Chains A and B, each alone.
Chain A
Amino acid sequence: MKSLLVFGCLMILCVSGASAQMVDRATYLKEFQQRVKYLETAYDTSQAVGFYQIAAHYKLNSNIRQADSMFVQALKVPRGDMFWMFPVIGAYLQGVDKMSPETKAVVRNAWKTYAPYRGDTENHWAMYYASLFLAAEQWPNLPGSEWYNGKSSDENREEAREYLFDWARITTTIGQGEFDSPDYFAEYAISTILLAQFAQDPQVKQLGSMLSEYVFADFAAEHLDGQYLGGFSRIYQPAVYKPLQSTASAFAWLYFGTGERTTSGWILLPALSGYELPEIIYQIALDRSKTYIHKERKRVRNVIRYGDEKNPPVYKYTYVTKDYGIGSLMGGILQPIQQHTWGVRYTYGRPYTTIFGLHPYWSGLELGMFFPEEVKTLIADVVASKGTYNNPDKWTSASPFERTFQHKNTLIALYDIDPGTTAEHINGFFPRNLEERIVDPTGWIVCKAGDTYVGWYPLQEYEWKEELETPANSLNDIGRPQLERVRETGNWRLRSHKLQNGYVVEVRSKDEIGSFERFRAALKKSVPKRTMKPGDVSVDYTSIGGEKMHFRFPDERKLNGKVVDLSRTKLFEGPFLHAEVGSQKLTMTYKNKKRVLDFKTLTVKE
């Protein structure tokens, strides 16, 4: 009863953070500890049996015998591969000095008998090797016969160590592969925080700490009110149209004090770990007093076939204000399945705080670029676990027929879609809670979302479709869930069936342009000139800021008559983050502060 009362009080203390303002360090730490306590208590008082509850019991030194019993029970049928590894080692490390010898033996035996899959992508490998490293440190000097993979403790530790340093090297030279993922941020952050807090090897501990800062800084520079901004490598529905539902937003609540209060399990182990964010990252995440442009260079996930390069570059551009952010990837297939090429996100109108567009594409060839199974059956294989992949109404997608050109808060998207392609239309998402969605006689669709105004000029004819309720049990042709089982009504889908297509998007805030009427009047004067023929898709447009943009599909971009050379994009460039390609160094700056992560020397300098 006492703990429940404490939990209730904490619920009152932990305000949602809806209007989070930057606070001084002492206040931040006090509020951060309140959020940590809220999470700890929530899991400590939970009746469920799970690794997070077990970890909370150990951390709070409560119900140790019950935690032991739960641990033994939870390990009876191990499953989940690398998603099993990190909560198990995370819970173990919380209780290693408290659990009974019998419980310890059960945990140890699980790492001998359960053989997890290593996975096939960056987030899998981060979880797998971070967990394996910590486990190998916990049980040193064991022969291969004591480990699921036949390798000794030394071999496992060294293999994991080598992978982790190699991952850091490639990430800090040519960028992360599964970059800026609101839904996979957690996998990296948990892995690196566990290393930072629990690795015994001082170099790995330091690496974990620096990588934690790296991924958080990457997020912070594109953070607004609990949301990740810009284009993303991977995101799920519904988080793509309800941004605060992503796991990154749970981290934003815990570490930035923004977004909405949550008891997401993804942040429990970091909360228990004691890891504290450096102040400068918090400040980068919160200070939106000045509008800025933030650019990044990432890499495409490993292309194993049907491409000329293993990790081609990804160019990302994000424009951030205190009211909204608009960000984009340059387009094309940069990630399979869950790419979010561009989007506007703003602070008004939770939960639907976004407008975006896409070409909902799917093909065996796309999947074959990244997965080694047979291209002719890959679609069915993927749909078995990601049911939206072959749905023409899906809201995440990469497409070879899509390209973007962004300058400040103006974005042009062009499409030149081959006939017969899945699918032969493009979609735009307009949320139901817009204050205004007006179709102006000039062709502009003019939207108002609080103090953010969005203009969308379709380059071809289109239709509106209301997003009707998705049946809870909708199945596709092989009997898998067609869409995530959520019920939504009233959002709007712009659909255009022309294969040569595109649109221009202008975004302004009240601070930037004044009234909504003034924004609308400015758009009336800015009508794009277009060419829409197969193989010849282009647009010339003078933005409402007076800048001349020429964009010809796929990659001819000119700004005020000058060619835009994306290949010059640095790993990070903006007011807060700075990193050259190949440097293995990230410099964070905020006002007169500077913090340098040097992965070559494994040092942090201020």
Chain B
Amino acid sequence: MGSWLVAILLSGVLCSDLLVAQQETVYMAVLNSRKHRLGALDNPTVGLFVSTDAGATWQHKGWTGYIRTFYSEAGLDGTIWSGCGNGVLRSTDRGKTWRITTGGDVTEVLKVKVSPSNPKTVYAATAYGVFKSTDRGETWQQKNQGFGKPFVADLLIDRSKTKRVFAATEEGVFLSSNGGDQWRFAGLQGKGVRFIAQDPKKADRLFVGTEEDGVNISEDGGKTWHPSNGGLGHLTVYVIAIDPSDSTKIYLGTHGGGVYRSNDGGKSWTQKSHGLQNPDVHALSVIPSKSNIILAGTLNGGLYRSIDGGETWQFNSQEEAQVWGLSVQ
């Protein structure tokens, strides 16, 4: 919390913005409506949606129309970032106006991650590798040195040492210890890694979801990894969400199997998909202040919400849409 406040004060935002930033806000990236065709005469309302009531209701923010919004999150200074087909978008007025901060060379941005220690430092995971800005998106540099194949599906900034950044690639996990300047292979060779999560209590405890190999866990900050798939019947794991108040409680979003939950820190998994009408779960969020409320974004089935820790799910919104990303600030 200390670094949180320091970061906000350093960023020089106004008091009113500070108050807004302190609210628990959920950001939902709706990639596409299945009814939409590129160039077709329709205008789906997709892109960024924001909720300030734990996902019960949503407000559309930002661009209307389809710009392939994969993921959105806010920095500690309240700046909202969106990773899109059109590049990295930034809003400093809570989503009223936007600017594409990148040029024509940055496209298909799958994740945007803001440093937890410095809101000016932002990383973008793209189909063409990693891009980094240290001036709140005014300029960007490509950071691919050390990658074999640069497709990066996800990034994790180690909150305990923010120059340590993990990248999820089709060739395994890569790690940079110098803020992306150089990358080295860090395990799970040949496994398509889709998602990386960090235990909110133990910084060295890391989880990854993979394309075909379920969940792998590291207890030593990424030095070694072991599979942990007991009870997991669906091994394509798109997303992992950890209860911030009880990190033994972990949720997985899978392809074909909906949601799985572990109550023992990832040792074993139980399917928790009752009420989910779409089994392809690509986004998950646990609401920090009410950790029994879980949000699950599906591919082509919209958003589902559980108020009992995943035991049951109710359709929430975004019929037939691909809810690609969720984040909470």
Contacts and interface: CB of A to CB of B under 8 A. Distances in A.
A80 B104 CA distance: 20
B84 to A, nearest CB: 9
B100 A150 contact: yes
A462 interface: no
Contacts of A82: 39
Interface in B250-296: 255-256, 280, 282
B238 A374 contact: yes
A144 interface: yes
B127 A376 contact: no
Chain A interface main SS type: loop
Nearest to B256: A376
Interface in A148-179: 148-151, 159-160, 162-163, 166
Contacts of B68: 117, 120
B104 A117 contact: no
B149 A118 contact: no
Interface string A96-132: 0000000000000000001111111000010001000
Contacts of B100: 149-151
A280 interface: no
Contacts, number: 106
B37 interface: yes
A129 B86 CA distance: 12
A289 interface: no
Interface stretch (B2-10, B18-26, B58-66, B174-182): B58-66
A149 B127 contact: no
Nearest to B47: A115
Interface in A65-117: 77, 79-83, 114-117
A82 B90 CA distance: 22
Contacts of A442: none
Contact of B280 (A125, A304, A305, A377): A377
B282 A304 contact: no
Contact of B282 (A151, A163, A374): A374
Nearest to B32: A381
Contacts of A162: 103-104
B236 A81 contact: no
A117 B86 contact: yes
B300 A380 contact: yes
B14 interface: no
A166 B107 CA distance: 15
Contacts of A115: 63-65, 67
Most A CB atoms within 10 A — which of B32, B37, B38, B211?
A: B38
Contacts of B90: 150
Nearest to A377: B299
A374 B299 contact: yes
Contacts of B161: none
Most B CB atoms within 10 A — which of A83, A119, A373, A381?
A: A373
Nearest to B299: A377
A79 B42 CA distance: 7
Interface in A524-559: none
Given A372-B108, A372-B151, A384 B65 contact: no
B315 interface: no
Contacts of B63: 115, 148
A81 B300 contact: no
B159 interface: no
A464 interface: no
A117 B67 contact: yes
B85 A117 contact: yes
Contacts of B199: none
Contacts of A149: 86, 98-100
Interface in B70-95: 70, 85-87, 90
B110 A83 contact: no
Nearest to B194: A374
A3 interface: no
Given A79-B43, A374-B255, A384 B34 contact: yes
Contact of A159 (B41, B104, B110): B104
Nearest to B100: A149
B99 A144 contact: yes
A129 B149 contact: no
A473 interface: no
B225 interface: no
Contact of B127 (A118, A148, A160, A305): A305
Interface in A288-329: 302, 304-306, 308
B128 interface: yes
B280 A118 contact: no
A306 B104 CA distance: 23
Given A117-B86, A304-B151, 16 more contacts: A80-B41, A116-B65, A118-B85, A118-B86, A125-B104, A149-B86, A150-B90, A160-B104, A304-B108, A304-B128, A305-B151, A372-B108, A372-B151, A377-B255, A377-B300, A381-B32
Nearest 10 A/B pairs, CB to CB: A150-B99, A305-B151, A163-B104, A304-B127, A115-B63, A385-B37, A83-B39, A372-B127, A149-B100, A118-B86
28 contacts: A79-B40, A79-B42, A80-B41, A81-B39, A115-B64, A116-B65, A116-B67, A117-B85, A118-B67, A119-B38, A119-B85, A120-B68, A125-B104, A149-B86, A159-B104, A302-B128, A304-B127, A304-B151, A372-B110, A373-B31, A374-B282, A374-B299, A376-B256, A376-B280, A377-B299, A377-B300, A381-B32, A384-B37
Interface of A: 77, 79-83, 114-120, 125, 129, 144-145, 148-151, 159-160, 162-163, 166, 302, 304-306, 308, 372-377, 380-381, 384-385
Interface of B: 31-32, 34, 37-43, 63-68, 70, 85-87, 90, 97-100, 103-104, 107-108, 110, 127-128, 149, 151, 170, 211, 236, 238, 255-256, 280, 282, 299-300, 322
